[in-house]
Amino acid sequence: MSGTGAAIDTRALEAVLFVSDEPLTPAVLSQALEVDRRTVDDLCAQLQAELETRGSGLVLRNVAGGWRLFTDPETQPVVERFVLSSRQARMTKAALETLAIVAYKQPVTRHQVSAIRGVNADGVLRALVDRGLIEEAGRDEGPGRPLLYATTPMFLERLGLASLAALPSLAPLLDASAERADAADRAADPDDADDAAPDGDNPAEAAESELDAPEV
């Protein structure tokens, strides 16, 4: 492929990606550009490099099984101000909490989501379905065969994730939360902390005993 041909193809690729409102798979791009899939991969890699080299306000990412143009992270403050000043509705805290539960527990029923949040989640689930972020994913085999919910490709696209495997681990957050709860309990009931301290009249020996205890 000549240099001129490559330039024309990357311009065509950029134009097709620009007018698309969803990630485009290699198969779709291959058909649109009338090239094989290996060439599509090469062109996407080349366009990524070109956008970075010329300091474009756009970046090309592989998300949700396809390629899509995104705004550069460094433009986030300006883009955020523009979006927040528009009439686009922002997601509520309840919607974000519910979406997180579905993302990490999917497939999950309405009752399971409500039990985790401690409040009825019917309205929030319907709103997330309307936004295209979650969808019905069959029925549970339990009594009543309730509907199951799971995230959609649009969810991956909005978060810039290639797959659900790219979701951050919850373990560090759970560990930190447990430590804060334990510290709050000790502060609220100092008598329990005194009872748990090692026997002996020497405070230094008690402190040394705590430091030598194995980590949990």
Taking the domains of the chain in order of start, what are their residue ranges? 3-75, 93-166, 182-212
**Does 3-75 match 93-166 in CATH topology?**
yes
The fold for domain 3-75 equals Arc Repressor Mutant, subunit A (1.10.10)
Sequential DSSP letters for 73-123: GGGHHHHHHHHHHSSPPPPPHHHHHHHHHHHHH-SEEHHHHHHHHTS--HH
Residue 159: is it exposed, middle or buried by C-beta count within 10 angstroms (0-12/13-18/19+)? Answer: middle
CATH architecture of 93-166: Orthogonal Bundle (1.10)
What pLDDT sits at residue 101? 93
Largest CA distance in the chain: 85
The label of the residue with tokens 């290639």 reads 162
Q: Is 67 helix (H, G, I), strand (E, B) or coil?
A: strand
What pLDDT sits at residue 86? 54
**Local confidence pLDDT in tens for the 216 residues of the chain:** 444 445 557 889 999 999 887 889 999 999 999 999 999 999 999 999 999 998 999 999 998 889 999 988 888 888 877 766 654 556 788 899 999 999 999 999 999 999 998 888 888 998 899 888 999 999 988 888 899 999 999 899 888 888 888 888 876 665 555 566 566 556 655 555 455 444 544 434 443 443 344 443
Whether the model clears a pTM of 0.75, i.e. scores above it, the answer is no
What pLDDT sits at residue 40? 93
